[in-house]
């Protein structure tokens, strides 16, 4: 039997509330996709797989869909997932009070726009019909082939209106929130940590993952220069390799770098040393990190300053590697296992691109046996709840 794992996953931003119907950020998707199951899910190639839906049947021109739910789909409190739970979520998404940025995804449904805009004079009824406890009929304004793929998005996940009524504003708090996905919400420290526990009522086996701890990773975007000369850069860390696979060590680096400041402040140096001590990593004379950067200015000068700051703050030697090609030649974040270098990559962010770092998230998909497979590399093995060291990573 595999040892139960506690996994650590990293987020750049935390959800403001655990409310998937009205969530306003795609960065929350991994949170909701691990707490909840929708009618369907899409794999990495965009192929559709049924989840809570047992079958989805379209009419001759794909303007009407009949959705039948599985009999064995249950919420974490043991209650059967019913068609009414999906209908309640979609009506809530379309309510006049909703400010969801995903409203347009539901506007293919007959009467959806009129319902949201509160046009009571409309003669077009909302095209969502509850046929029975396991069956929904959805009527669209026009033919939309493969419309069912839309329901893979988290705003279309089901809700428990009965519990929202019973608990009021507290319905989505730990201990009260019920879910139907792989995990339940165990605890939340706002802005710091979110803990998930395995959901025993999940549709399929969640493998050997007993608990997931989501934490904020230090920001990796850096601004160098002043005024109009400010240039944004991004640090990428090969977090599949020691020592960068240690969250506390990465935090020590961020404090040491201090945004590329000319001199490391005493406060930042103290924070860096505290994080280094917490990591348990010893800095020996042989210890070396590689910092990859393009062989152009001002990039090389900025990389040299970063290397100096790290040396001053935590005593680690950093070798600045240069190449005339893109710095990612040494480290491809999408294929970290291909690199044996303990690599930190510094790349210039183009002015015409978004400088905000995307959420570093767990992002599960399931294999044919329902075992979660981790998509991202920014994960760390932790101790199992029993204290035993895990012996594998999924």
Q: Tokens 């069956």, residue?
A: 135
**Structural domain boundaries of the chain?**
1-36+181-218+357-394, 51-158, 221-348
d(CA 130, CA 213): 38
Superfamily of domain 51-158: Dipeptide-binding Protein; Domain 1 (3.90.76.10)
Q: Looking at residue 4, what is its pLDDT? A: 56
387: left (phi over 0), alpha (psi -120 to 50) or beta: left
Which tokens hold the place of 389?
């060291």
d(CA 175, CA 164): 13
Buried b / exposed e along 101-132 (16+ C-beta atoms within 10 A): ebbebbebbbbbbbbbeeeeeeeeebbbeeee
d(CA 289, CA 260): 17
How far is the CA of 234 from the CAs of 31, 75, 252, 263, in angstroms? Answer: 25, 41, 17, 19
Q: Looking at residue 203, what is its pLDDT? A: 85
Superfamily of domain 221-348: Dipeptide-binding Protein; Domain 3 (3.10.105.10)
Q: Looking at residue 206, what is its pLDDT? A: 57
| Angle at the Cα of 52 from the Cα atoms of 362 and 132, rounded to 5 degrees | 150
Which tokens hold the place of 332?
């491809």
3-state secondary structure of 35: helix
d(CA 138, CA 54): 16
Q: Looking at residue 249, what is its pLDDT? A: 85
How far is the CA of 76 from the CAs of 29, 124, 297, in angstroms? Answer: 20, 37, 56
Contact 276, 330 (CB under 8 A): no
Identify the CA nearest to 128 among candidates 35, 25, 39: 39
Q: Looking at residue 5, what is its pLDDT? A: 60
Buried b / exposed e along 146-165 (16+ C-beta atoms within 10 A): ebbbbbbbbbbbbbbbebbe
Q: Looking at residue 34, what is its pLDDT? A: 86
pLDDT, one tens digit for every residue, the chain (394 residues): 344 566 656 665 678 789 999 998 777 887 898 899 999 988 777 889 999 999 999 999 999 999 999 999 999 999 999 999 999 999 999 999 999 999 999 999 999 999 999 876 555 689 999 999 999 999 999 999 999 999 999 999 999 999 999 999 999 999 999 999 988 999 998 877 888 888 999 886 555 677 887 766 544 444 444 444 555 566 667 666 778 778 788 888 878 876 556 677 888 889 899 989 999 999 988 888 888 777 777 778 878 888 888 899 999 988 887 754 333 333 333 443 433 334 455 554 443 322 222 222 233 333 343 333 333 222 222 322 333 222 222 2
| Angle at the Cα of 17 from the Cα atoms of 14 and 21, rounded to 5 degrees | 115
| Angle at the Cα of 17 from the Cα atoms of 42 and 15, rounded to 5 degrees | 60
Q: Looking at residue 392, what is its pLDDT? A: 25
Q: Tokens 């990773």, residue?
A: 217
Contact 310, 342 (CB under 8 A): no
Domain 51-158 identical in fold to domain 221-348:
no
């Amino acid at each position: 039997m595999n040892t139960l794992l506690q996994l650590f996953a990293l987020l750049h931003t935390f959800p403001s509330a655990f409310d998937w119907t009205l969530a306003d950020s795609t960065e929350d998707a991994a949170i909701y996709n691990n707490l909840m199951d929708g009618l369907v899910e899409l794999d990495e190639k965009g192929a559709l797989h049924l989840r809570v839906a047992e079958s989805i049947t379209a009419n001759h021109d794909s303007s009407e869909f009949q959705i039948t739910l599985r009999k064995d789909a249950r919420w974490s409190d043991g209650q059967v997932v019913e068609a009414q739970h999906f209908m309640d979520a979609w009506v809530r998404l379309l309510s006049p009070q909703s400010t969801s940025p995903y409203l347009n995804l539901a506007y293919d449904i007959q009467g959806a726009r009129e319902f949201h805009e509160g046009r009571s004079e409309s003669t077009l009824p909302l095209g969502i019909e509850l046929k029975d406890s396991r069956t929904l009929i959805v009527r669209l304004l026009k033919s939309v082939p493969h419309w069912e793929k839309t329901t893979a998005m988290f705003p279309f996940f089901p809700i428990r209106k009965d519990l929202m009524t019973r608990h009021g504003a507290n319905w989505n708090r730990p201990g009260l929130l019920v879910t139907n996905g792989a995990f339940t919400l165990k605890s939340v420290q706002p802005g710091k940590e979110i803990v998930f526990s395995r959901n025993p009522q999940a549709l399929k086996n969640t493998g050997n993952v007993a608990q997931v701890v989501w934490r904020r990773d230090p920001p990796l975007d850096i601004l160098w220069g002043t005024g109009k000369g400010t240039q944004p850069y991004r640090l990428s860390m090969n977090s599949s390799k020691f020592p960068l696979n240690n969250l506390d060590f990465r935090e020590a680096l961020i404090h040491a770098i201090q945004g590329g400041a000319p001199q490391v402040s005493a406060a930042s140096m103290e924070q860096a040393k505290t994080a280094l001590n917490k990591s348990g990593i010893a800095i020996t004379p042989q210890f070396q990190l590689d910092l990859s950067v393009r062989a152009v200015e001002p990039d090389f000068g900025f990389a040299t300053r970063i290397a100096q700051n790290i040396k001053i703050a935590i005593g680690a030697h950093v070798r600045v590697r240069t190449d005339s090609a893109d710095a990612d030649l040494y480290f491809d974040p999408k294929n970290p296992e291909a690199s044996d270098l303990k690599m930190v990559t510094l790349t210039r962010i183009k002015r015409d691109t978004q400088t905000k770092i995307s959420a570093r998230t767990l992002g599960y998909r399931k294999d044919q046996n329902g075992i979660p497979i981790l998509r991202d590399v920014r994960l760390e093995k932790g101790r199992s709840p029993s204290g035993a060291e895990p012996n594998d990573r999924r």
